[in-house]
Structure 1
Amino acid sequence: MKLYHNPASPFVRKVRVAIAEAGRAGEVELIPSAGSPTAPIDIPPEHNPLGKIPALVADDGEVLFDSRVICRYLDALWGIGLYPAPPALWRCLTLEALADGMMEAAVLMVYETRCRHENARSEAWVEGQWAKIDRALDLLEGPWFERIDLAPLGDARPDMGRLAVACALGYLDLRHDDRDWRAGRPRLSAWFAEISDRPSLVTTAPEG
């Protein structure tokens, strides 16, 4: 099995976390990949014509992308238990979608500053992306905290929704630490500190 990856990508990290939760890291070859919106990721078009990561080549040659598809595939393949049965599944998937949206907005902020000439950058665009993240953070600190709370789980494995939120917050620390997302969010900050000690998150900490 092969995974096209970049150690800084929060979407790749989601997949690597799923692999680590399964205890199968040694069975997946990591293929370094780099690119940007103006220079697509250097992977064969047949493995993802969109030129985006992550992309997984399964042992049978099947190609899968994006991170949500890959995580569901690995969970089904290895029986990891990252996705609960309905009706809890719908909350898990919605939480994962929220985390993915946060990641996407955070990545777009990076692209705006890295890929555009200074005189072509839009501060309003950047702030608009951060506003999405800010609203999501407030939701997680407030009415949705029960959806990520670890206490009810006991020793049970966190679901993919919770793990995806952790990946999103880790990316904010990596690329947007100047925004101080923890300010005014004590519950979410403490939650992130706790879940970040999980081995699957420690071994996949973002780099670069």
Structure 2
Amino acid sequence: MMQLFYATTSAYVRKVMVTAHCLGLTNEIELLDSAAHPVERDERIAIVNPLAKVPALRTEQGACLYDSRVICEYLNARAKGDLIPSQGDARWLSLSRQALGDGLIDAALLARYEYSARPLEKQWQGWADAQLKKVHAALREIECQVAGFSTQPDDVGLIAIGCALGYLDFRFDVLNWRANHPLTAAWFAQFDAHPAMAATRPH
């Protein structure tokens, strides 16, 4: 079996697991407990990923893959899936949407680390505000694009965006992002109800 270093709170791990669910690969993945942290390094993960970050996947052949984008592409290729278009404009649109979703997660995660991982006397509000500005910019762009989104997790870009919005619900409910993004809120209500999304909600 494949082995995946896993954390139920990670939006990047969730992206990989939603992909696995959609491709019918969950029964081929063994989930390994981990405690990824920006300061306190988990050496169990470092065996597979020298950066000690999740997700990190070890294939049956012993190859070590890390970064959710690489792992999702591997799973899609393994299953001969179509979550990542192989060519043409559809490919670049899918990958750009994945970058938008991942970028939203990156910014939200950096803002959270400022509060949760840095001692109070060393916290920099300006830094956190700058990250949240990126979050709001990403949400505005999603609102502009969302009319063209499928309500099914049939594309890795949409999976990334869905997992990013789920992360905001989990860690930044104070932002109340739905208030100013009604089209995105309506889309996400349908998208997040899909079994692959429901089975992977952070907790």
TM-score grouping bracket, smaller chain normalisation? over 0.9
Q: In the alignment, what sits opposite 1:104?
A: 106
Aligned ranges 1:91-170 → 2 under 5 Å: 91-142=93-144, 144-147=145-148, 149-150=149-150, 158-170=154-166
Task: Provide the secondary structure at the position in 1 that maps to 2:131.
Answer: helix
CA distance in 1 between partners of 2:175 and 2:195 (Å): 27
- Bigger mean CA deviation after superposition, 80-89 or 117-126: 80-89
Q: In the alignment, what sits opposite 2:48?
A: 47
Q: Aligned pairs, how many? A: 201
Cα-Cα RMSD = 1.4
CA distance in 2 between partners of 1:19 and 1:205 (Å): 14
CA distance in 2 between partners of 1:5 and 1:42 (Å): 14
CA distance in 1 between partners of 2:129 and 2:84 (Å): 33
Q: In the alignment, what sits opposite 2:187?
A: 191
TM-score by length of 2: 0.95
Question: In the TM superposition, what is the alpha-carbon distance from 1:141 to its structure 2 partner?
Answer: 0.7
Q: In the alignment, what sits opposite 1:66?
A: 67
Task: Call closer, same or farther: CA 1:133–1:157 in 2, change over 3 Å.
Answer: closer
Q: Deviations over 1:41-90 (max 9, x none)?
A: 34253411111010000011111010000000100011121012322100
Task: Name the aligned partner's letter for residue 17 of structure 1.
Answer: V
- Unaligned 5+ segments in structure 2 are none
| Shift >3 Å, 4+ stretches | none
Task: Call closer, same or farther: CA 1:82–1:93 in 2, change over 3 Å.
Answer: same
Q: 2:4–2:56: 8 Å Cα contact kept in structure 1?
A: yes
TM-score by length of 1: 0.92
- Unaligned 5+ segments in structure 1 are none
Q: In the alignment, what sits opposite 2:11?
A: 10
Task: Call closer, same or farther: CA 1:157–1:128 in 2, change over 3 Å.
Answer: closer
- Bigger mean CA deviation after superposition, 85-94 or 170-179: 85-94
Identical pairs, percent: 38
